[in-house]
């Protein structure tokens, strides 16, 4: 479930200053480092609240009371979120059709986690791309694409502007993405992912892209957070990003796979974890600062028909995660951790230690999907 394919490749926000990763402390134990277990798994309770070294974001220093939220499963606190100890060493997704590497020996690129850039001066560009479908469906005609600007990203609460900066509805007459999609079992003859174009979209600005059904009930509503285009992404007055739409029945299918049902008054969360080269990450754990029904779940390696993998402790090579039935109307922080690989810069983490891969604040909406790709630290995050 990749939510957008674009030229913007900086990874989602890390809540750190000079060092973007770090000593995530375990419940009742010291910082997690090479060779440590990451705490006692909660068996002796959670003592002092864990902290993240170098943190300056206010949202990451006004955490919950020590020990609250800690469970035997989620025993590490990073940026106000209790997350599970990573079980596997981080690795790049390989052999995939999107956001993958062909080098089986490659290790994840975490170089961008050591520092962030500054926002440039916004300029207007034409946003264009194709509307890809998460799973079900062969043709993305009839999807409405809208772009919004986030409110106060320096003190994020997951809200965005009431009016879109632009919108576009795809039709059966729009051009189809020429990328080969015959590998997708849902459309063996090739999928029809339709082009959309929206003018006057600002660069150097945190954006939310909403996709929905333009006039029927085929497509569910999906909010794609953490979309951002640098001025350097503009070419010929355009920036490119592939939006994602999801068929309504897919929500129940995913929920049923994990033994749950979708509560129409609640929201759903989904997303991906990528490295600094925009390659999907295997071995990442993810959690939210607000409760959800059941456990956080991760997906199988089946790129053609992604479904939750029951019992998986962390992300597969698709980097996909999800959670069900979160309450709307409040900020929700989504945070990801990983086990530092051997090639990571020393300024980022030491081999085997726990590293924070990304964190971002979103909101969920009744009966809709909120998507967030954790792709590193953003310029507006100190």
Q: What pLDDT shows up at residue 68?
A: 66
Of 347 and 245, the structure prediction assigns the larger pLDDT to 245
Token match 């600002």: residue? Answer: 202
When pLDDT is cut at 50, 70 and 90, the band that residue 13 belongs to is very low
pLDDT band (50, 70, 90) for residue 23: very low
Q: Which residues pair with 125 in a beta bridge?
A: 201
What local confidence, expressed as pLDDT, does residue 100 receive?
66
In what order do the strands lie in the sheet containing 354-362? Answer: 285-288, 332-339, 354-362
The pLDDT, as a whole number, for residue 314 is: 93
Residue 335 included in any domain: yes
Q: Tell me, yes or no, whether 307 lies in a domain.
A: yes
Query: Is residue 252 classed as helix, strand or coil in its secondary structure?
Result: helix
Q: If pLDDT is split at 50, 70 and 90, which confidence band does 25 have?
A: very low
Mean pLDDT of the chain: 80
Alpha helices for the chain (secondary structure H): 248-257
Task: Tell me how many domains the chain contains.
Answer: 1
Which of the two residues, 140 and 248, has the higher pLDDT score?
140
CB count, 10 Å around CB of 312? 15
pLDDT at 2 over 50: no
Residue 206 has pLDDT above 80, yes or no: yes
How many angstroms separate the Cα of 130 from the Cα of each of 61, 139, 193, 247, 263?
Answer: 39, 11, 6, 16, 30
Handedness of CA 51, 61, 350, 299 (dihedral sign): positive
Tokens of 349: 């983490």
CA atoms of 379 and 229, how far apart (whole Å): 11
| C-alpha to C-alpha distance for 157 and 130, rounded to whole angstroms | 29
More confident residue, 194 or 152: 194
What are the beta bridge partners of residue 269? 323, 370
How far from the centroid of its chain's Cα atoms is residue 381's Cα? Answer: 16
Closest C-alpha among 209, 204, 148, 160 to residue 361: 160
pLDDT tier, 54 (very low <50, low <70, confident <90, very high otherwise): very low
Which stretch of 68-82, 282-296, 366-380 has the lowest confidence by average pLDDT?
Answer: 68-82
Residue 105, CA distances (Å) to 97, 102, 170, 315, 343 in order: 18, 9, 40, 19, 12
CB neighbours of residue 89 within 10 Å: 16
Range scoring the smallest mean pLDDT among 40-54, 94-108, 121-135, 314-328: 40-54
Q: pLDDT at position 254, please?
A: 85
pLDDT tops 50 at residue 85: yes
pLDDT mean over 32-54: 35
The residue among 195 and 34 whose pLDDT is bigger is 195
pLDDT for residue 382: 61
**Residue 261: HSE in the Cβ half-sphere, 13 Å Cα cutoff:** 3
Instruction: Flag whether 76 is in a domain.
Output: no
**Pair 67, 46: CB distance under 8 Å:** yes
**pLDDT greater than 50 at residue 1:** no
Q: In Å, how far are 210, 217, 292, 368 from 263, measured between CA atoms?
A: 21, 17, 11, 10
Half-sphere exposure of 109 toward its Cβ, with a 13 Å CA cutoff?
16
Q: Which long-range contacts (CB under 8 A, 24 or more apart) does 27-35 make?
A: 27/67, 27/70, 27/75, 27/76, 27/77, 28/67, 32/76, 32/85, 32/353, 32/354, 33/350, 33/352, 33/353, 33/354, 34/340, 34/350, 34/351, 34/352, 34/353, 35/352
pTM here is: 0.86
Task: For residue 58, give the 3-state DSSP assignment.
Answer: helix
Q: How far apart are CA 12 and CA 153, in angstroms?
A: 13
Residue 65 lies in a domain: no
Report if residue 348 sits inside a domain.
yes
Query: What integer pLDDT is reported at residue 310 of this predicted model?
Result: 82
Q: Above 70 in pLDDT, residue 111?
A: yes
Residue 3 lies in a domain: no
In this prediction, residue 3 carries a pLDDT of 44
pLDDT interval class at 6 (50, 70, 90) = very low
Q: Using the 8-state DSSP alphabet, how is residue 232 labeled?
A: G
Strands 369-374 and 267-273: parallel
116 is a domain residue? yes
63 inside domain = no
Q: Which residue range is the domain that position 106 belongs to?
A: 91-374
Q: Which H/E stretch holds residue 368? A: none
State the pLDDT confidence band at 198, using cuts at 50, 70 and 90: very high
Cβ atoms of 6 and 224 within 8 Å: the answer is no
Q: Distance between CA 372 and CA 224 in Å, rounded?
A: 6
- Tell me, what's the pLDDT at 272? 93
């Amino acid at each position: 479930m990749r939510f957008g394919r674009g030229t913007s490749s900086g990874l989602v926000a890390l809540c750190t200053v000079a060092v973007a990763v770090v000593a995530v402390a375990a419940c009742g134990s010291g910082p997690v480092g090479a060779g440590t277990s990451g705490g006692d798994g909660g068996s002796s309770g959670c003592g002092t609240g864990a902290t993240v070294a170098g943190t300056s974001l206010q949202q990451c220093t006004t955490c919950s009371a020590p020990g609250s939220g800690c469970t035997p499963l989620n025993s590490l606190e990073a940026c106000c979120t209790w997350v599970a100890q990573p079980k596997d060493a981080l690795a790049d997704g390989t052999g995939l059709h999107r956001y993958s590497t062909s080098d089986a020996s490659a290790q994840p690129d975490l170089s961008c986690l050591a520092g962030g850039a500054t926002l440039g001066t916004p300029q207007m560009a034409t946003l264009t791309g194709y509307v890809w479908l998460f799973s079900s469906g062969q043709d993305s005609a009839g999807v409405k694409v809208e772009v919004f600007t986030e409110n106060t990203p320096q003190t994020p609460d997951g809200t965005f502007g009431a009016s879109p900066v632009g919108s576009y509805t795809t039709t059966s007459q729009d051009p189809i993405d020429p990328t080969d999609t015959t590998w997708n079992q849902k459309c063996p003859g090739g999928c029809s992912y339709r082009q959309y174009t929206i003018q006057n979209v600002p660069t150097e600005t945190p954006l939310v892209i909403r996709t929905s059904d333009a006039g029927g009930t085929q497509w569910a509503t999906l909010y794609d957070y953490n979309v951002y285009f640098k001025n350097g992404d503009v070419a010929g007055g355009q920036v490119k990003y592939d939006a994602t739409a999801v068929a309504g029945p897919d929500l129940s299918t995913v929920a049923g796979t994990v033994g749950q049902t979708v509560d129409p008054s609640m929201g759903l969360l989904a997303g991906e974890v990528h490295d600094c080269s925009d390659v999907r990450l295997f071995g990442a754990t993810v959690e939210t600062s607000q409760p959800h029904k059941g456990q956080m779940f991760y997906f199988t390696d089946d790129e053609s028909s992604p479904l939750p993998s029951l019992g998986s402790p962390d992300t597969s090579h698709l980097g996909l995660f999800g959670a069900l039935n979160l309450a709307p109307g409040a900020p929700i922080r989504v945070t990801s951790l990983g086990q530092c690989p051997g090639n990571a810069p020393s300024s980022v983490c030491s081999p085997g230690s726990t590293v924070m891969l990304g964190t971002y604040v979103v909101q969920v909406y009744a009966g809709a999907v909120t998507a967030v790709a954790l792709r590193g630290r953003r310029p507006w995050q100190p």
